[in-house]
Amino acid sequence: MTMAKPKYELILLKNMLQPGYTGSLADYERAGGYQALRKILGKVAPAEVTAMVTKSGLRGRGGAGFPAGIKWGFLPKDYQGPKYLCCNADESEPGTFKDRQLMERDPHQVLEGIAIACYAIGAETAYIYIRGEFVLGAKILEKAIAEARAAGYLGKNVLGAGVTIDVWVHRGAGAYICGEETALLESLEGKRGLPRVKPPFPATAGLYGKPTVINNVETLANLPHIITRGPEWFASIGSPPKSTGMRIFCVSGHVKRPGNYEVPMGITCRDLIFEHAGGMRSDKPLKAIIPGGASASFFTPEHLDVKLDFESVAQAGSMLGSGGVTVMEEGTSMVWAALRLMEFFHHESCGKCSPCREGSSWLVQTLRRIVNKRGRMQDLETLTDLCQNIAGRTVCAFGDAEVAPILSTLKYWRHEYEELIRTAEANGSSELLMPAAARH
With 70 as the cut, is the pLDDT of residue 381 above it?
Answer: yes
Among candidate residues 235, 259, 277, the one where a domain is terminated: 235
CATH value at residue 343: 1.20.1440.230
User: Which are the contacts of 287, defined by CB distance < 8 A and separation ≥ 6?
Assistant: 300, 301, 328, 329, 330, 331, 332, 334
Per-residue confidence (pLDDT) for residue 428, from 0 to 100: 81
Interatomic CA distance for residues 307 and 52, integer angstroms: 26
Per-residue pLDDT tens over the stretch 320-329: 999 999 999 9
What is the pTM for the complete model shown? 0.93
Q: What's the average model confidence in pLDDT over 45-67?
A: 95
In this structure, the answer to whether residues 360 and 312 fall within a common structural domain is no
More confident residue, 225 or 425: 225
Half-sphere exposure at residue 40, Cβ-oriented, CA atoms within 13 angstroms: 30
Beta strands (DSSP E) in 259-356 are 259-264, 286-290, 324-329
User: Which are the contacts of 202, defined by CB distance < 8 A and separation ≥ 6?
Assistant: 181, 182, 185, 211, 212, 213, 214
Among candidate residues 329, 358, 378, the one where a domain is terminated: 329
Interatomic CA distance for residues 251 and 290, integer angstroms: 10
- Percent residues over pLDDT 70 in the chain: 97
Helices (H), 174-268: 181-188, 217-221, 223-229, 231-235
Residue 58, classed as helix, strand or coil, is: coil
Confidence of residue 5 (pLDDT cuts 50, 70, 90): low
Interatomic CA distance for residues 206 and 99, integer angstroms: 23
Confidence of residue 426 (pLDDT cuts 50, 70, 90): confident
In this structure, the answer to whether residues 368 and 286 fall within a common structural domain is no
Of 1-15, 142-156, 212-226, where does mean pLDDT reach its minimum? 1-15
Per-residue pLDDT tens over the stretch 294-316: 999 999 999 999 999 999 999 99
In this structure, the answer to whether residues 314 and 353 fall within a common structural domain is no
Question: For residue 230, what are the CA distances in angstroms to 51, 56, 106, 122, 385?
Answer: 11, 8, 21, 21, 50
Per-residue confidence (pLDDT) for residue 6, from 0 to 100: 67
268 bridge partner residues: 307
Q: What's the average model confidence in pLDDT over 174-189?
A: 95
Half-sphere exposure at residue 280, Cβ-oriented, CA atoms within 13 angstroms: 13
In this structure, the answer to whether residues 160 and 252 fall within a common structural domain is no
In this structure, the answer to whether residues 219 and 269 fall within a common structural domain is no
With 90 as the cut, is the pLDDT of residue 69 above it?
Answer: yes
In this structure, the answer to whether residues 140 and 20 fall within a common structural domain is yes
With 70 as the cut, is the pLDDT of residue 198 above it?
Answer: yes
CATH value at residue 249: 3.10.20.600
- Please say whether the dihedral angle defined by the alpha carbons of residues 349, 352, 357 and 359, taken in this order, is positive or negative: negative
Confidence of residue 1 (pLDDT cuts 50, 70, 90): very low
Q: What's the average model confidence in pLDDT over 219-223?
A: 98
With 60 as the cut, is the pLDDT of residue 248 above it?
Answer: yes
Please answer whether residues 297 and 407 qualify as being in contact, where contact means their C-beta atoms are separated by less than 8 angstroms. yes
Among candidate residues 183, 208, 235, the one where a domain is terminated: 235
Q: Which domain holds residue 249?
A: 242-329
Per-residue confidence (pLDDT) for residue 438, from 0 to 100: 37
With 60 as the cut, is the pLDDT of residue 439 above it?
Answer: no
Beta strands (DSSP E) in 138-221 are 166-171, 212-216
Confidence of residue 432 (pLDDT cuts 50, 70, 90): low
